A and B are shown apart, each in its own frame.
Chain A
Amino acid sequence: MQAQDVVLRLDRITKRFGALTANDGISLALHRGEVVALLGENGAGKTTLMNILFGHYVADEGGVEVMGAALPPGNPRAALAAGVGMVHQHFTLADNLTVLENIRLGTEGLWSRGTARATGRAKVDRLARDFGLAVDADARVGSLTVGERQRVEILKALYREARILILDEPTAVLTPQEAEALFATLRLAIARGLSVLFISHKLHEVMAIADRCVVLRHGRVVGEVATRDTSGAELAALMVGGDIALPEARPATVGPVLLRLAGVSTPDQGAAPGLKAVSLDLRAGQITGLAGVSGNGQAALADLICGLAVPQSGGLELAGAAPVRWTPRAAIAAGIARIPEDRHKTGTIADFTLTENAVLEGYWRPGFSRRGLIDWRAAQRFAEGIIARYDVRCPGPGARIRLLSGGNMQKLILGRVLEPGPQIILANQPVRGLDVGAIAYVQSQLIAARDGGAAVLLISEDLDEIMGLADVVHVMSEGRLSPGFARGTKTAAELGLWMAGEGFADAA
């Protein structure tokens, strides 16, 4: 490719946060009509790099060039004007406005003429047609599915004449079918001369869509390879700096039902659906996988099992008996290990130490406190045990947990809930945002717990993860639960149809 084809050039970007060097002399070039995947473990510096590129951070050294012109640092507006469009993982749309209003937001002058709206509309329609982004311009964003919202985000970037699209983990919230549609759109975009920078953890997607991969580790570029010259295994090894064996799940002996939901319904929580007559058995020695697109009732099910919610109708039984008062404390006392979806917001307290976080849900147990007095020495020994046995990389038990990476935070949570030897384990998105090494570790711990006779409920939006680990798979859609499918009896595409809401008895 010719040098003048370079649309985006990052030149030796260095960014330090105190002692940590998040980006260390990263150089990267994106050519016209090319898809480059940016790969790396969590904490490898991808997000920092994107924030510098988009002007949210100012680099300590190095510069950004778009179309051959230097981009002024720290100015998102300049990045937008230069034709850089960013689609964040968490959408930045106003729910109460229509698609068209969202797209035009911020582009209108203070006194826009009536005709501007009509031209804007025509432009949106044309873009939607050209790029295969079918969406109703007059629909309120609040009523759209996640996949549709993502299309609106992309349209928004295209509307502002973006020539470079940056997509941050775009498929994390999509069904396999929606992801395919997204890839089709990206192919249309590069055919029209746009360039795409694609950030992902999912190697097979990277292999499917990207021309080139740039792999980051510890803030440095450790590899740059053409996709056709590499393999998923090679990329994974580059990312973690060694070979990683993902755990292989073997079937285990299935025991009795430890937790049973019989026709449980819970009220909707705003836009998030509640449970609709859900019946589910969790058996000892079995990993039950729960697949589904984000926001289809998984949170309601997790809240119920965590003790944060009670059934509105229907019943919950633990080992054959209905609990009298269902609270988080009751769930903990009943031996349910709960790995929450959001380890930052609900799993840990950022400003508390590792020791304090280790006993956050067990401080009242006789081993840790007597007559209202906490035995901090016992708590610290407990934390030190977790740090040693679960390989938590940290300065020590007295360090604040906010200093830990996501993977190490998750290991501490894992140790906290698994140490008491739980019978039932709820793992809600246990590996989301973790690096490959930590993923393998967390998954092997879940498998070990299952082999030890625990009933595991694994909730994940990553279908590959579910299909790899679960002995039985259920799919959730709009609060409804599909029947259980034994391992290997359904393909990803078939499960994808269930995820899209087809196959349910009351489906329209």
Chain B
Amino acid sequence: MKRFRVPHEDEARERAWQVIRAAFAHREPVAWPRRHARPLVATAVVAAAVGAALSPPGRSVIDSLREAVGVEHAKTELFSLPTRGRLLVEAPPSGVWVVHPDGSKRLLPGYREASWSPHGLYLVATKRNELVTLEDDGNVHWKLARRDVRFPRWGGTMTDTRIAYVCRRCPGVVSAIRAVGGDGRGDRWVTKGFFPIAPAWRPGPGHVLAVAHTDGRIRLWAADTRALLATSRMIAPPIELAWSSDGSRLYALSRFALYVLDAGAHLLAVHRFPDHIIASALAIPPRGAAVALILHRQGRSEVGVLHRTYRRIFSGAGHFTRLEWSPDGRWLLVAWKEPNQWLFIRSTKVQTIRAVSGITSQFDSSTFPSLAGWCCAR
């Protein structure tokens, strides 16, 4: 074993040394030319800010709120959403709920894994062996019988859309990511050998699908032609993929780092988290280049926003499970499991927090409901 050498070890060592040396240089009080310093600053700032944020609590007003699990004076019912748009909520076993701005809720029974169409006109959801598109009142548009379907995602433009989904036992190609037209026609397989996470459509035309493959690379596929458009370098296994709203950046979140790629799958930046901090979710706002993250450390969770620098928004004991931006980008909704609460946080400067408790019972769910999208007023 002592004779063992990792293939291409020297190249890995030199790549790592460049990163370490850069981090060390940033640590020193040396004024670098800004154009060189920026990516290093980004990485270091995330590390430093997150490390500080999840260190022992007790500095800000917000800190005082979180000492007890949950926010005090939470409303007992979700009387309304704080802004426009409709929420999709997965609440097994009852199904998928659509929540309207006035607080009214409609159950779409028996469905799971729902997501909105690009402009929120329709939604796609699954049953075990069915892919279904429907309106938010439950009116079904079409169904596609496929075995063991998961991770449906709807992408495209107002007039030309595709739905990507995973089919684990489809005829012809077993375990494939497939794509079907928004009208239910043209179902075909796109690629195989992928991590079991949802693929991500690049916003806009072209039907470009980002897929995390099991060899550690992200690939961009033209869904209509099955052409491989780009392949990234190897990264740690992502748990979530998301495009920026303008399609210029692809974010791949792993447990230890956030990878930022451009539209050609070139790696632009890696934001590594400090030791013992693990990420679990990200959310992209409808405009701008910010990324909201959920991070965890030793029984505590934190939601923060990365936009050039990292800034903590809120932290608390227990687990934040999901987060969503409102369609106008002014509110962040954070699902907090232990107190069974949702927190609507007004702007990243935390001007207001509105908490709602009793979420599980409000959605007739056996487990803490999962947020599946906050989309588009009609």
- A in complex with B: no
